[in-house]
Amino acid sequence: MPTHGRTFPGHPQELSTARRWTRATLNGHPRSEDAELIVTELGTNAVTHTASGESAGAFRVSLTVSDRALTIAVTDCGHTKTTPEVQDPPLSATHGRGLALVAALADSVTVHGDESGRTVSAELGVLVNLEESAPCL
């Protein structure tokens, strides 16, 4: 399983750079658009809610590709006591929907780490074309 990783400065404008890098790295993968959105949401959370968004902060994106799944992991610089969780904000709220969107797109979402740094991973299943993988009869 190849894993591709890159660290981005923790500036909001770097989120579009992370999205473009994801698109180029996945290069036509069937779940690349979902991955771009997930990288944007998780990167935004890192920059907004952790030390990743401070002047010397950064966030790391890892993409692991296999025949059956694509795993996106975003690691922040920590410095927050709150654990990322899916929220159900009121309609008038301007924040709080990102992780719910990630959870809706992914087959699973996991959070590892503590206040010194967390990694949020989203696994996307990849459908295999049965006609191509079926043995000849």
* CATH numbers and ranges of domains, the chain: 3-133 (3.30.565.10)
pLDDT digits (tens, 9 = 90+) for 101-128: 899 999 999 999 988 999 999 999 987 6
What Rg value do the Cα atoms of the chain yield, rounded?
16
Please return the burial class of 50, using the count of CB atoms within 10 Å of its CB with bins 0-12, 13-18 and 19+. Answer: buried
Residue 40 in this model has a pLDDT that exceeds 70: yes
Q: Which residues contact 50 (CB under 8 A, 6 or more apart)?
A: 57, 76, 77, 78, 79, 80, 117, 118
pLDDT digits (tens, 9 = 90+) for 51-72: 999 999 999 999 999 989 999 9
* DSSP H helices in the chain: 14-26, 32-49, 98-105, 130-133
pLDDT digits (tens, 9 = 90+) for 70-84: 999 999 998 876 666
> Edge-to-edge, what's the strand order for the sheet holding 108-114?
3-9, 58-65, 69-75, 117-125, 108-114
